[in-house]
Structure 1
Amino acid sequence: MIKTLTAKAQHVFLAETAVPDPKKEAPGALTDKVDTVLGLMAWVGTAAGVAGVLITGAMMAISMRRGEGSEHMGRLGMVLGGCVLVASAGPVVSFVFG
């Protein structure tokens, strides 16, 4: 008899109380818009990195043609460092917040 009362009490309590689902997102959530903006920023950063490597390479070729020193290696290092930073930003953010 106690088992029957306990089962009925649980049934009534659980039927009246809605269990929240934390994984369910609201329709039209802001996360879709944020993902779109972050994706565009990643593509822009990648394009800027490729353009920076191409421009630095062109400047190095011109300076070698003129016989000047190799002062552009520092610029190339900074551009490649920026490329690594842009490329690793997405996985780091998804690891921290995902």
Structure 2
Amino acid sequence: MLDLLNVAQDSMTILAAHIPMVDLPDSDPVAPPGLADMWNRVVGVGKWIALGIAILGLFIIGGKMAYDSRRGETTEEVGSLIKLVMAVTLISGGASLIGFIVG
């Protein structure tokens, strides 16, 4: 079985060596007219909505921590808080990355 796979791999290597390589032109990325402004607006609005939801989540987690601290059970909220911080980092980083790519 391994011999058959080796023969197939060698055949593909020989075939790939005979395929001519073509240099593709490397052009600058240009957004279609009118689309860049709309795209930036959609990304900006989406970022603010996502960050607003994250702030609401922070208030909810804080309220749960205050409520559960009377019983001495805040370990679950710490995990939620870590997830929220990671989500805010991803939202901010993603919006910055898109802005860098588009801009």
CA RMSD of aligned residues (A): 2.1
Aligned partners of 2:58, 2:40: CA distance in 1, in Å? 27
Aligned identity (percent) is 28
Change (3 A) 1:69 1:52: closer
What is the TM-score when the length of structure 2 is the normalising length? 0.62
CA displacement at 1:67 relative to structure 2: 2.6
What is the TM-score when the length of structure 1 is the normalising length? 0.65
Note if contact 1:63-1:70 (Cα within 8 Å) is conserved in structure 2: no
Gaps (5+ residues) in structure 1?
1-21
After TM superposition, the structure 1 = structure 2 runs for residues 1-98 of structure 1, keeping only pairs within 5 Å, are 26=33, 29-98=34-103
**1:50-82 CA distance string (max 9 Å, x none):** 111111111111110123242211111001110
Structure with more relative contact order (C-alpha pairs < 8 Å, separation 6 or more): 2
Gaps (5+ residues) in structure 2?
1-28
